[in-house]
Homo-oligomer: A and B are copies of this chain.
Amino acid sequence: MSTYQKFTERMQKIADISHASALLQWDQEVYMPPKSARRRAQQLSTLAGMAHEMFTNDETGKLLESLAATNLSEIEKANVLNAKDEYEKNKKVPTEFVEKTSVAVSRAFQSWDKAKKAKDFSIFAPDLEALLELKLQECEYLGYEDHPYNAQLDIYEKNMTVAKLEVMFGQVKEQLFPFIEKIYKAPQVSDELMFQDYDRDKQWAYGIEFLQQMGYDMDAGRQDVSSHPFTTNFSATDVRVTTRINDQDLSEMLWSTIHEGGHALYEQGLKDDYYGLPTGSYLTLGIHESQSRLWENNVGRSLNFWQGNFGRLQEIFPKQLSKYTAEDFFKAMNKVQPSPIRTNADELTYHFHILIRYEIEKELFERKLQVKDLKEKWNAMYKKYLNWEVKDDAEGVLQDIHWSHGSFGYFPTYSIGSFYAAQFYHQAVQDVHGLETGIQAKDSSKLLQWLREKIHQHGKLYTADELCKRVTGEVLNFDYFMQYAVQKYATIYAL
């Protein structure tokens, strides 16, 4: 067996363990009986420790070292360099620390869940504080330049820094904020049609139909229900989505399904031959999110798409929708308004939800802000950026699951993803003849093919900057999003 083969085998075994973990987590969200929470947390901690231990074992180091000296193909080189980088990063963190963090996460998740139900941040605060301390310690293990938060950002979005985000969110504030202000002053659109009685079973069936129309392969995945929709995968041949269904609000199922579908298409489009290797896994969370947002917003919230699809929806819900047109539906789904819940926000104010979390996290990692003051800070920020009076902790500081998972530095990838999505979609329209007329005719296969070819299949072969340049000729540029927003919302709000 060649050294490269040995390396591949080792990486695949580590992937096997991580994917087993992912199944345990999936099950925890969708089917696990309540009494087994404690044992499941323990099992997850053990697997996290084992994957970390195996990856950071000297054996991996030796393989990587001897591979550095050999002649490798471009793809092999990308696998080795990426793995080496991850290895060095992981090596800095002791296995016991990983296990300890896993246990702290399970504990924090449980108290967050309890706190949210009780609408009482104080139930969650002590566990969050403990978890934050671990994450701050993790920054020291990992090392960073300029800002400790950079160490966290880099986990989800390689090479992302506070300095870059200051520029990006600066543009959001300078350009998006005044644009939204203009919208607020324009005559409002109605979204009433979304809030009617929509049968759950029919919604469920339509979600599946929708996924299949997008090109999602039901033989290499499945859909289930969970309270927080998510996508997970245990290989490119088993990529699962979950959705949630609200029988009084059609939009929850619709956009969670198309959003998760976008993530899932990316994972199904990775090369199964590179299972366990960097080129067989997603590039960054921002790129991952670009795929979900592209489908959710650029496709799923476009007039074009619904001109082709609204008829089917009317067929399923005649009583609710027959008196409306595709244009009414399009306007309803794009109503811009301040709101307390990030996941329900329109695609413009959405970025202020992210900005708030970004600024809070940055201050937490500067130790400028303490957990005990988090709630007040949150409420003040919602007042400042969204002019929203937070009514309780459940709609306020407790709304997101992320911090209970120990995920700090994750939120910015949502905005990054939306901005990438606008840039990619703009390029796709240029590159692919008949792309939008196809979508209008319920055929998005050309778009999927373009995404597969340009983005999905490469995994981590390039950096995000390189990929973006290869696909669009330049690195991430916020202008595409603003252009898209101005053009789209000018028609909706007759600006």
Residues in chain A within 8 A of chain B (CB atoms)? 12-13, 16-17, 19-21, 23-24, 27, 31-36, 38-40, 42-43, 45-47, 50, 217-222, 234-235, 237-238, 272, 275
Contact = CB atoms under 8 A, between A and B. Distances in A.
A483 to B, nearest CB: 39
B220 A35 contact: yes
A59 B220 CA distance: 40
Given A17-B50, A36-B235, 4 more contacts: A20-B47, A23-B23, A36-B234, A40-B235
Given A17-B46, A27-B27, A46-B16, A39 B222 contact: no
A27 B26 CA distance: 11
B275 A33 contact: no
A36 B19 CA distance: 12
Given A20-B20, A20-B47, A31-B222, A237 B36 contact: yes
Contacts of A234: 36, 39-40, 43
16 contacts: A13-B46, A16-B45, A16-B47, A17-B46, A17-B50, A20-B20, A23-B24, A33-B218, A33-B219, A33-B220, A34-B219, A35-B238, A36-B220, A36-B237, A39-B237, A43-B234
A59 to B, nearest CB: 13
Given A33-B222, A235-B36, A42 B16 contact: yes
Contacts of A32: 238
A110 to B, nearest CB: 14
Contacts of A35: 217, 219-220, 237-238
Contacts of A275: 39
Contacts of A31: 222
Contacts of A23: 20, 23-24, 27
**Cβ-closest 3 pairs across A and B:** A36-B238, A16-B46, A39-B235
Contacts of A238: 32-33, 35-36, 39-40
A38 B237 contact: yes
Contacts of A235: 36, 39-40
A203 to B, nearest CB: 20
Contact of A237 (B33, B45, B219): B33
Contacts of A218: 33
